[in-house]
Amino acid sequence: MSELIPISMVAHQAFCPRRAWLEAVGETTDTHQVAVGVQAHVPADDPSGSRSRRYRAVDVVSHDLGVVGRCDTVELDDDAAMTVVEHKATPVRRRPEVTEAMRVQVALLAGALADMGYPVAGQAIYFTNHHTRVDVPLTPADMELAREMVAATARTLAAEDAPPPLEDHRRCSRCSHISVCLPDERPLAPVTRRIVVADPDTQILHLTTPGSRAYVTRGRIEVSKSGEKLGTYPIERVQGLVVHGNVDLSSGLIREVLWRSLSVVWCTSSGRVSGWARPAQGPNGGPRLRQHVASHHGRIDLARQFVAAKVANQATLLRRHGDAPATVTRLRELQREALEAPSLTDLFGIEGDAAARYFEHFLTMLKPRVVAAEELTFSVRTRRPARDPINAALNFCYGLLTADMLRAVVACGLDPHAGFLHSSGRNKPALALDLVEEFRAAVADSVVTNAFNNGEIRARDFSTVLGTTRLGDRGRRALISGYERRVTGTFRHPLFGYDVTWLRAMEIQARLVLGVIDGTQPRYQGIKIR
């Protein structure tokens, strides 16, 4: 026996096959549009609201149609004949019009009721925003269309590749999944349609005070230390948690965060990512499997773009703020060579050559008076341990960047460990590190240079013991503040032409990688600042 298909899934198919696919692979959004729809459905989802001739949340099934579903409301007339009434909100399309997807949905609900042996007298849509009820008379053609949609949904769900997005279609502007579908971004060209997405007004919560403890109480996250309350935040405004160093989280807080499909990233006090937690359920299980296969076989096209974008952004940052025109010219040449590199070995050689030239002149991006006053020195990049304040600050910001990229990769349902440039055999989050490369100069290096140039961090914020330089609490908070300003600030996307935050840009890049893997993205292109 074939598996029954949810009627709601068939309605999504009637609206857009790709929308049905996204729902099937678990892609969800928390837009205002979705919130309004959920709120409008609250009364219809409560069976206790049933009356003698009006039943709420009635489950239906039809093996003949191959569907299962739930009627919002079923009304009975004097002859016990039933009328199916579906509740719909119209937050975007503000006209109470019955669409083809709605007709398909009520046709299948009525058909299932009839198959269960109940007489059906009619169908209707109740538009909650307008408090308007519109009867939906059905014809044999409607029932035939509903059957065809069930068959089409089955084909969509059984397909190996994701359906392509609609092209320049007006339905996309009304779709709550446009932020994960990215129909306009697929051609990798400027987006002419203006898309307005509600600002969720959420933010990343960084926990930095050593010895403190965070827990959840009455819908708020509270942080305390030695009986003193350090802060309290509404959990609805938290987009994710980043824990720095010795900070405890209560199990209740971890459970609540995961239940809300948020992630937690733990970092050491120097910024190194030591672990993360994510919800057990995530989208795109099938593409995630294909990601592992692609990672095993290698995708040099993706690796080339990661490195080329990294070198391009290094050149741009050095051109803007440094004093090394010859190096900038050479970095541009290396950027082009990266796009033609025949192997990963050649790519690593180009990347290393570019990094050496870039960091050789990194100090020129700091103001001479700052360098002199703080007695800053820097000539070579040292990861662990850091040998000077600049390297310590870079290490810390790279850790923050990796934490954000981890959250972006996980939000797409991809596996952070299966990469295309970094080796998965090193047991590090390879894909997250792949994507981090494009953002190192544009985000992390920019934050560090600005923090020194603006006096937000000083040499006294660092301590050096036995050749290892460490960042103090005040400097750590200053860098986190500068980093959050940077990633939540907007800029004009160099490829798509609309304003976007750096955080959103990270998720877009991860979703472009997902598109290459699931077959809907013709090619990947790294983000390059101008």
Asked if residue 127 lies in contact with residue 162, where contact means CB atoms within 8 angstroms, the answer is no
Asked if residue 106 lies in contact with residue 70, where contact means CB atoms within 8 angstroms, the answer is no
Give the per-residue SS3 of 103-163: HHHHHHHHHHHHHCCCCEEEEEEEECCCCEEEECCCCHHHHHHHHHHHHHHHHHHHCCCCC
DSSP notation for 412-433: TT--TT--SSS-GGG-S-HHHH
Which amino acid is present at 515? Answer: G
Nearest to residue 150, comparing CAs of 1, 26, 4? 4
- Angle value at C-alpha 369, between 382 and 442, nearest 5 degrees: 50
- Please tell me whether 507 is known to bind a ligand: no
Residue 123 pairs with which residues in a beta bridge? Answer: 84
- Please tell me whether 222 is known to bind a ligand: no
Nearest to residue 378, comparing CAs of 397, 367, 391, 365? 391
- The conformational region for residue 497 under phi > 0 = left, psi -120 to 50 = alpha, else beta, is left
Tokens of 337: 């060579």
Q: In sequence order, which residues have a C-beta less than 8 Å from that of residue 318 and are 6 or more positions away?
A: 324, 327, 328, 331, 358, 361, 364, 365
Backbone angles phi, psi at 277, to 5 degrees: -130, 140
> In whole angstroms, how large is the CA radius of gyration of the chain?
27
Q: Judge if the upstream peptide bond of residue 385 is cis by omega within 30 degrees of 0.
A: yes
- Angle value at C-alpha 354, between 349 and 360, nearest 5 degrees: 130
Known binding-site positions for Mn(2+): 351, 422, 437
Binding residues: 351, 422, 437
